């Protein structure tokens, strides 16, 4: 069975994530110990015990999701289950890079440490917000994003489901415009900044510096990257794309469509929650998506 491993991004975290894996898998303990050494704090404690407010903070949420995802990725591979392609939503792209063996666990976490801290700092320099727009067509989305100030599409997640990002007043005006157009559902997101927008520009230079300081390797499988929605194997292009991801939208709909066009309809969502499984169902009915979050999901796969 050909399959794609897909990895969730920020927003999928929850208090208690990974605790069952930690209690059973020796590799999970090793990963969390390594993470503590790199990050300089006890990530396991924050992941398992919270509090939720702290776990939602960008500098903690991003490493927590990444480590959880890689532990599951490791377990599947140890049991002979390998991907034919990988992709990750925003932060999840770094999990995908590790799964494809383009980055080591340690080097990816070093990048994420800087990325999360600098994105959090950029949000303080350029305050912003994000909101999901449900049910808008392409023309309506253009009207919604035509505002004074910065407001852009940030995540093209599924048919009729787009997240916008930008300056607080501009996004608020965009939401008022959306209501005026009769958009059926508008959901402000509980995030700390305007991710995937020009407001993240202050994070670019520090991120580029850490990207250039670690080793990238030729991948074992193609990675479908957020900003181009196509498989990439060239290392310099991969570096450029993860840097551009700071300010560019996540083209998730096109990623899933491209993977399907290339012959894969079986998706393994690897990491906390099941957000990507839900998006897949909205994008197409042609796929089979299996969710791997807890130990029970890993044990249950043997029954498929």
State whether 79 and 115 are in the same domain: yes
Question: Residue 87: its pLDDT value, please?
Answer: 98
Q: What is the pTM of this model?
A: 0.95
State whether 63 and 160 are in the same domain: no
Burial of 230 (C-beta count, 10 Å sphere; 0-12/13-18/19+)? middle
Angle of helix 58-78 relative to helix 105-125, nearest 10 degrees, comes to 160
Query: pLDDT (tens digit, 9 = 90+) per residue, 119-151?
Result: 999 999 999 999 999 999 999 999 999 999 999
Question: Residue 302: its pLDDT value, please?
Answer: 52
Question: Residue 192: its pLDDT value, please?
Answer: 84
State whether 109 and 170 are in the same domain: no
The residue from 12, 90, 165, 197 that is catalytic is 90
Indicate the residue among 188, 210, 237 that finishes a domain. 188
Helix (H) or strand (E) holding 4: strand 4-7
State whether 290 and 255 are in the same domain: yes
Please report whether residue 286 resides in a domain.
yes
Question: Residue 304: its pLDDT value, please?
Answer: 44
**What is the residue-level pLDDT of the chain in tens, covering all 304 positions?**
899 999 999 999 999 999 999 999 999 999 999 999 999 999 999 999 999 999 999 999 999 999 999 999 999 999 999 999 999 999 999 999 999 999 999 999 999 999 999 999 999 999 999 999 999 999 999 999 999 999 999 999 999 999 999 999 999 999 999 999 999 899 999 888 999 999 999 999 999 999 999 999 999 999 999 999 999 999 999 999 999 999 999 999 999 999 999 999 999 999 999 999 999 999 998 899 999 999 988 887 754 4
User: Taking the alpha carbons of 76, 224, 101, 3 in that order, is the dihedral positive or negative?
Assistant: positive
Say if strands 223-224 and 85-88 run parallel, antiparallel, or are unpaired: parallel
Question: Residue 1: its pLDDT value, please?
Answer: 81
State whether 106 and 215 are in the same domain: yes
Please report whether residue 193 resides in a domain.
no
Q: How far apart are CA 83 and CA 3, in angstroms?
A: 5
68 included as an active-site residue: no
Q: How far apart are CA 273 and CA 68, in angstroms?
A: 11
Per DSSP, the three-state class of 1 is: coil
Chain length of the chain = 304
Look at the block and give the residue holding tokens 């390797």: 217
| Half-sphere exposure for 98 (CA within 13 Å, toward CB) | 25
Give the total number of structural domains in the chain.
2
Q: How far apart are CA 57 and CA 125, in angstroms?
A: 16
Say if strands 128-134 and 161-167 run parallel, antiparallel, or are unpaired: antiparallel
- In which domain, by residue range, is 148 found? 128-188
Give the CATH number for residue 148. 3.30.70.250
153 DSSP β-pair partners: 164
Q: Which residues have CB under 8 Å from 182's CB, separation 6+?
A: none
User: Taking the alpha carbons of 172, 178, 181, 184 in that order, is the dihedral positive or negative?
Assistant: negative
Q: How far apart are CA 267 and CA 157, in angstroms?
A: 16
Give the CATH number for residue 29. 3.40.366.10
The residue from 12, 68, 95, 196 that is catalytic is 196
State whether 72 and 102 are in the same domain: yes
Q: How far apart are CA 300 and CA 155, in angstroms?
A: 31
Indicate the residue among 147, 162, 188 that finishes a domain. 188
Task: DSSP for 183-211, please give it.
Answer: -SEEEE---SS-TTSGGGGGGHHHHHHHH
90 included as an active-site residue: yes
């Amino acid at each position: 069975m050909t399959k794609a491993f897909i990895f969730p991004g920020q927003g999928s975290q929850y208090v208690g994530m990974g605790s069952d894996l930690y209690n059973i898998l020796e590799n999970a303990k090793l990963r969390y110990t390594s993470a503590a050494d790199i990050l300089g704090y006890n990530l396991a404690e924050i992941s398992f015990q919270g509090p939720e407010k702290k776990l939602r903070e960008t500098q903690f949420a991003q490493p927590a999701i990444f480590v959880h995802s890689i532990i599951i990725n490791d377990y599947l591979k140890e049991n002979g289950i390998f991907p034919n392609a990988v992709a990750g939503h925003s932060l999840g792209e770094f999990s995908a890079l590790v799964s494809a063996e383009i980055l080591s666990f340690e080097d990816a976490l070093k990048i994420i440490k800087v990325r999360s801290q600098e994105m959090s700092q950029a949000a303080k320099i350029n305050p912003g917000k994000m909101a999901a727009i449900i049910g808008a067509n392409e023309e309506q989305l253009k009207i919604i994003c035509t505002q004074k100030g910065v407001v852009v599409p940030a995540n093209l997640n599924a048919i009729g489901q787009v997240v916008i990002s930008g300056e607080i007043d501009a996004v608020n005006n965009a939401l008022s415009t959306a209501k005026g157009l009769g958009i059926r559902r508008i959901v402000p997101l509980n995030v700390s900044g305007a991710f995937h927008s020009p407001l993240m520009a202050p994070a670019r230079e520090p991120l580029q510096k850490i990207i250039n300081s670690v080793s990238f390797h030729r991948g074992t499988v193609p990675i479908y990257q957020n900003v181009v929605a196509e498989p990439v194997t060239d290392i310099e292009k991969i570096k450029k794309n993860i840097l551009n991801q700071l300010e560019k939208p996540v083209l998730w709909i096109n990623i899933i469509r491209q993977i399907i066009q290339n012959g894969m309809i079986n998706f393994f969502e690897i990491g906390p929650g099941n957000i990507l499984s839900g998006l897949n169902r909205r994008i197409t009915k042609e796929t089979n998506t299996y969710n791997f979050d807890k130990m029970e999901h890993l044990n249950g796969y043997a029954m498929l």
